[in-house]
Amino acid sequence: MIERRVGRVLELTMDNTAQRNALTPEISRGLTKALRLAADDASVGAIVLRGEGEHFCAGGNLKSLAEMRATQPRQAIVERISAVNELARALRGTPKTIIAAVEGHAAGAGFSVALGCDLLVAAEDAVFTLSYVRIGVNPDGGGSWFIARTLPPQLASELALTAEPAGAARLAQMGVVNRVAPKGKAREAALEWAARIAEGATGAIGRTKRLLDEAAQQPLSQHLEREREGFAEGFFGPEGGEGVAAFLEKRKAKFHG
């Protein structure tokens, strides 16, 4: 896993090109650690997650998994998936906007990871496959949870139950992909978008991200209270002060520096 800073944007790159960036436990743990450190780093305003080379992530390494099945107890696969689960929790728990930049294939756990990001930029020839049932297992890494929240039941079922690939254009029509970029330009488009987001009110963005995650899991009365407390926190904080002042002075807000 490679970390790179581009201004206020943290770029995280899965670097396992020989295996199409298959998600090893080391990569999962590296990404999780980087995301959790970024959560408390005020100099990070947004994050871009991508794969090195021609592909985003091919999911799990089936050869490695087959060897594990033949030589290790059931607990070994439980622990391996736990590393992916921690990555899914970090993607949702990090109070910074995370943009997936997808080139080539995002399959299995790779698709789950892309779905766990807040925004998704895909190259026009990118292909997404929730491929688990092909090998007789169900999704992991939050894939079924993310797709169920993102799509109507029939469309979620089509992707999860048939394991048929879907292109970037179709997923954009479904609302899963936010932006489609020319082939080879997903990273560039994601970094440009992230740079703009990173100049915004990072604290407000983090609270809003948390509210969006909580919305489907709590009643309206409780959610209204959460919104009210968050609004008051932001309004009387430095971001609220700058935002209101900029509006009244008819200028662009400067939340950083």
Q: Are residues 58 and 139 in the same domain?
A: yes
Q: Are residues 212 and 185 in the same domain?
A: no
* pLDDT for 133: 95
Q: Are residues 243 and 184 in the same domain?
A: no
Q: Are residues 33 and 74 in the same domain?
A: yes
Q: Do the domain assignments include residue 39?
A: yes
pTM for the full model?
0.95
Task: Domain of residue 179: give its range.
Answer: 2-198
* pLDDT for 68: 83
Q: Do the domain assignments include residue 222?
A: yes
Q: Which of 3-17, 35-49, 52-66, 232-246 has the lowest mean pLDDT?
A: 52-66
Please report, as a single letter, which amino acid is at residue 52.
Answer: E
80-99: average pLDDT:
96
In this predicted structure, the answer to whether residue 43 has a pLDDT above a threshold of 90 is yes
Q: Where are the beta strands (DSSP E) in the chain?
A: 2-6, 9-14, 46-51, 97-102, 105-107, 119-123, 127-129, 166-167, 179-181
Q: 94 falls in which pLDDT band (50, 70, 90)?
A: very high
Of 114, 161, 156, the C-alpha closest to 133 is 161
Helix, strand or coil, per DSSP, at residue 220: helix
In this predicted structure, the answer to whether residue 220 has a pLDDT above a threshold of 90 is yes
In this predicted structure, the answer to whether residue 60 has a pLDDT above a threshold of 90 is no
168-183: average pLDDT:
97
Q: Do the domain assignments include residue 253?
A: no
Here the CATH number for the domain that contains residue 85 is 3.90.226.10
Here the CATH number for the domain that contains residue 223 is 1.10.12.10
Q: What are phi and psi of 3, to 5 degrees?
A: -110, 140
Q: Are residues 105 and 231 in the same domain?
A: no
